Each structure stands twice: as structure tokens, then as C-alpha cells.
Amino acid sequence: MIISDSTIKNLIKKNKLIIEPFENYLLQPASIDLRLGSDYLKIDENQMEIMTLEDKLNYNKINSEEIVIPPHSFLLATTEEYIELPNNLTAFVEGRSSIGRMGLFIQNAGWVDPGFAGKITLELFNANRLPIKLKAGRRICQLVIAEMDKAAEFPYQGKYQGQNTAVGSKVFKDNENKKK
């Protein structure tokens, strides 16, 4: 069941759901808006000729209050908000409709698992033919939170736990890549 604005606010008040910094204006009827942080990662296209699922990727780190995403370009970003989900809540990230209508696709690969703690890394893609300028602190996406039928038996303890900046792919750490 997706939880409502009043339930989100109540859980935050009781410290059962952590979203910091929290501002009332971020609450939506069935979600909470999250703002763009100032940390970004861009694939270092000059250091590799191909990406694989087995090798660590090289990124250029960018810290800026403003950034321009060129047409047809991909960039990792982070949310301003740090979140902690209890073991009985899961969430997913959706782009804001107003921003999607400009051609900026905002994704987060998969669910935000129960037990996750950290800032959320966002995948941004400018599908437009014009550059898009973004500023830190602007509402960029929304977090839709759902209550699970019971608490997770094995809450998230994965490779992205505790991230505080944009974090690149760690697919190279997957079990499939471990030598037998």
C-alpha cells in the first residue's frame, strides 16, 4: 500500500522514517519531493573505449551548484536529502512530470530497499535537442513510499548503503564477477 502525505509526515515526526532535511512544502498527496544535490558523476569517456559489467568504471566527479546537461547526455546526480527506510517500508523514485515534459528523464535503478540509508543516486538523461541547466536545491523527483505486508527478513545491506554523494555503478562487485 502506498502511504499518504499525512502518514509520511507522522512517520518522520516519530523518527520511524528519516528524510533530512525535511520541509513541509516537499509533501505531495502520495509522495514526497526530493531536491537535487550538488554532487555529480560523468563517465570518463576518454579513459575507456568500452564499458563492461565486469570492470570498474572511471568517472569524473563534479561538485557544483549548477550544471548543464548537453543534449542526449547521461549524468549521475544525488539528492539533497538523506533518507533512512525502516525494514517495513520500500520506495521508488519517479521523475517529476513537469521536468519530464522538458525531456529530462530521471531514474533510480529499481526499488529503494527496506533498510536503505543514504542519499539517492539519480540517473539523469537529457532526451532533448537543447541543453538543460539544473540548480542544486530544486525539486527534481518524488519518492513514493509503500508499506510492505511485513518487515523484511533481510533488510538492505548492499554495496550502496550509506552513500552521501553520487555513486557510480558497482556492478563489477556482483557475485557473478567473483572468481570461483
Q: What is the pLDDT of residues 76-133, one digit of tens each?
A: 999 999 999 999 999 999 999 999 999 999 976 667 999 999 999 999 999 999 999 9
Q: What is the pLDDT of residues 48-78, one digit of tens each?
A: 889 999 988 999 999 999 999 999 999 999 9
On whether residue 180 sits in a domain, the answer given is: no
Provide the CA 162 distance to its chain's centre, in angstroms: 12
Ranking 4-8, 33-37, 55-59, 142-146 by mean pLDDT, the lowest is 55-59
On whether residue 40 sits in a domain, the answer given is: yes
On whether residue 110 sits in a domain, the answer given is: yes
Q: Is 45 marked active-site?
A: no
- Position 119 scores a pLDDT of 96
Instruction: Name the domain count of the chain.
Output: 1
- Position 109 scores a pLDDT of 63
**What is the CATH classification number for the domain harbouring 130?**
2.70.40.10
pTM: 0.92
Q: What is the pLDDT of residues 13-30, one digit of tens each?
A: 999 999 999 999 999 999
On whether residue 160 sits in a domain, the answer given is: no
Whole-angstrom distance, CA of residue 91 vs CA of residue 167: 19
Write out the DSSP string of the chain.
-BPPHHHHHHHHHTTSSEEES--GGGEETTEEEEEEEEEEEEE-TTS-S---SSSPPPEEEEE-SEEEE-TT-EEEEEEEEEEE--TTEEEEEEE-HHHHTTTEEEE-SS-B-TT-EEEEEEEEEE-SSS-EEEETTSEEEEEEEEE-SS--SS----TTTT--S-----GGGSGGGS--
For residue 180, pLDDT over 70 is answered with no
- Position 179 scores a pLDDT of 67
| Host domain of residue 72 | 5-149
Per-residue pLDDT band at 160 (split at 50, 70, 90): confident
Question: Which grid cell sits at 116?
Answer: 536503505
Q: Which of 49, 123, 147, 153 is catalytic?
A: 123
On whether residue 33 sits in a domain, the answer given is: yes
Q: Is the dihedral of CA 62, 75, 135, 17 positive or negative?
A: negative
On whether residue 34 sits in a domain, the answer given is: yes
